[in-house]
C-alpha cells in the first residue's frame, strides 16, 4: 500500500507538501498541487480518513441543503450543480453530504443538527434570498459556510455567483441588434437575489439600447416549466405585443416556447426566445434554445475552494463569474 512518502518521491516534493495538498493547510503553487494530485492518482494513494479526521477534528464533509419548495429536486439545474460540486469535492478529497428541507424555517434546525452532530465541517448555501436568515444564523454560530449567490449584504460573507445582470444586458443587446424593440421578460420571484439581479440587467439593457420599458412586458412566474408556460400564455391572451422574450431560467423559457407553439407563433421564427442556465434540455428543445450558460465546472471549483478557505478560518474574496451567450435556433 503506497504511503505519503511514496507520493512525495513520485511528485518530487517533500512529504510536508503532500500533506499541505491533502489537508489544504499550507501554501502550494498550482503546478505543484497538480503534480501531487497526479502522483496520488497514479499510485492509488488513499490517506487514512479516520486518522486524519481525528487529528484535525474534521469530517472532510461539505454540507449542502437542497430546497424542495419553489425549486424542486427535479430541476435539471440542481443536477448540474451537484455534478460540478461532486467533481470538485473529489479533486479536494472531500465528501458531499446532501440533505433536503421543504420549510425554510426548518433549514436552521437542520443546519444546527448536522453541524453539532459533527456530520459536516460547514455548509454551502444555495437559492439565496435578498434577506436570508441563514446568513445571520451561521455567522452568529461561528459555522463556516460559502454561498452560491448573494444577498443585499453581499460583502459580509464568502460567496460565488454568476453575473446575471451582465448576462441579461448582453441578451437584450443581442436582441436589440437584431431589430427587436418589444422584448418581454419572465422574472423569477423577486425574493430570490438572482431573480432581482437578472431583472435589473433586463431593465438596464433596455435602457442602454434606447428601448421603451413597458411594465406590461414584465411578468413574474414560478421557477418551473409550467410557470413559464402560464406567464407567456397570459401575455398572449392579453394581446400584449412582443417579438422577443427573455426568461430568468431555461425551464421558464421552455414553458414559454410551449405557449408560443400553441398560439401559432413559432419560436425562433416569429418570436425570439432566450433563457438562462444552459441545462441539457436547452439544446434538445424544439427549436434548440438560445441561452446564457452558467460555467458549472468553474462554479463547483470556486465554491469548494472558498468553502475550504472558510473552514480553515480564512475570509475568501467574493467570486463573480460571467455567463456566456450560447446562440441556438430559438433566437
Residue 15's pLDDT is 81
Based on its alpha-carbon atoms, the radius of gyration of the chain, rounded to whole angstroms, reads 23
Separation CA 224–CA 258 (nearest Å): 13
DSSP track, 314-328: --PPPEEEPPEEE--
Mean pLDDT by 10 residues, the chain (331 residues): 84 85 75 88 72 60 78 77 91 88 75 88 90 88 92 81 97 97 96 94 97 94 94 95 97 97 95 96 95 95 94 91 97 93
Torsion of CA 286, 287, 288, 290, to 10 degrees: -130
Residues 256 and 273: beta-carbon distance below 8 Å: yes
What's phi and psi for 86, nearest 5 deg?
-60, -45
What residue ranges in 227-312 does DSSP mark as E strands? 244-247, 272-277, 290-293
Separation CA 105–CA 191 (nearest Å): 15
Residue 313 CB-density burial (10 A; 0-12 exposed, 13-18 middle, 19+ buried) = exposed
Q: How many residues does the chain have?
A: 331
Q: What phi-psi label fits residue 118: left (phi over 0), alpha (psi between -120 and 50 degrees) or beta?
A: left
Q: What phi-psi label fits residue 22: left (phi over 0), alpha (psi between -120 and 50 degrees) or beta?
A: alpha
Pick the closest to residue 90 from 156, 46, 28 (CA basis).
46
Residue 164's pLDDT is 97
- Give the three-state DSSP class for 7: helix
Amino acid at each position: 500500500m503506497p504511503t505519503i512518502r511514496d507520493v512525495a518521491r513520485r511528485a518530487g516534493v517533500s512529504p510536508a507538501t503532500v500533506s499541505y495538498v491533502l489537508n489544504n493547510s499550507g501554501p502550494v503553487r498550482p503546478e505543484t498541487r497538480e503534480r501531487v494530485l497526479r502522483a496520488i492518482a497514479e499510485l492509488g494513494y488513499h490517506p487514512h480518513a479516520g486518522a486524519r479526521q481525528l487529528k484535525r477534528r474534521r469530517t472532510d464533509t461539505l454540507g449542502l441543503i437542497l430546497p424542495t419548495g419553489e425549486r424542486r429536486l427535479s430541476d435539471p439545474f440542481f443536477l448540474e450543480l451537484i455534478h460540478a460540486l461532486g467533481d470538485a469535492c473529489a479533486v479536494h478529497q472531500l465528501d458531499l453530504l446532501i440533505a433536503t428541507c421543504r420549510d425554510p424555517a426548518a433549514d436552521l434546525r437542520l443546519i444546527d443538527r448536522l453541524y453539532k452532530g459533527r456530520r459536516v465541517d460547514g455548509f454551502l448555501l444555495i437559492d439565496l434570498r435578498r434577506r436570508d436568515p441563514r446568513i445571520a444564523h451561521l455567522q452568529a454560530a461561528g459555522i463556516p459556510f460559502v454561498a452560491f449567490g448573494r444577498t443585499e449584504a453581499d460583502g459580509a460573507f464568502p460567496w460565488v455567483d454568476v453575473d446575471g445582470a451582465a448576462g441579461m444586458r448582453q441578451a437584450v443587446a443581442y436582441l436589440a441588434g437584431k431589430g427587436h424593440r418589444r422584448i418581454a421578460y419572465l422574472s423569477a420571484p423577486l425574493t430570490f437575489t438572482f431573480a432581482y439581479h437578472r431583472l435589473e440587467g433586463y431593465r438596464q439593457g433596455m435602457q442602454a439600447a434606447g428601448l421603451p420599458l413597458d411594465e406590461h412586458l414584465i411578468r413574474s412566474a414560478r421557477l418551473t416549466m409550467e410557470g413559464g408556460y402560464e406567464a407567456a400564455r397570459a401575455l398572449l391572451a392579453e394581446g400584449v405585443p412582443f417579438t422577443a422574450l427573455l426568461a430568468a431560467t431555461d425551464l421558464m423559457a421552455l414553458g414559454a416556447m410551449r405557449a408560443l407553439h400553441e398560439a401559432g407563433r413559432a419560436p425562433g421564427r416569429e418570436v425570439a426566445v432566450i433563457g438562462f442556465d444552459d441545462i441539457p434540455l436547452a439544446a434538445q428543445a424544439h427549436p434548440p434554445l438560445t441561452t446564457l450558460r452558467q460555467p458549472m465546472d468553474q462554479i463547483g471549483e470556486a465554491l469548494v475552494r472558498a468553502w475550504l478557505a472558510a473552514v480553515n478560518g480564512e475570509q475568501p474574496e467574493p467570486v463573480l463569474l460571467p455567463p456566456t451567450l450560447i446562440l441556438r435556433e430559438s433566437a
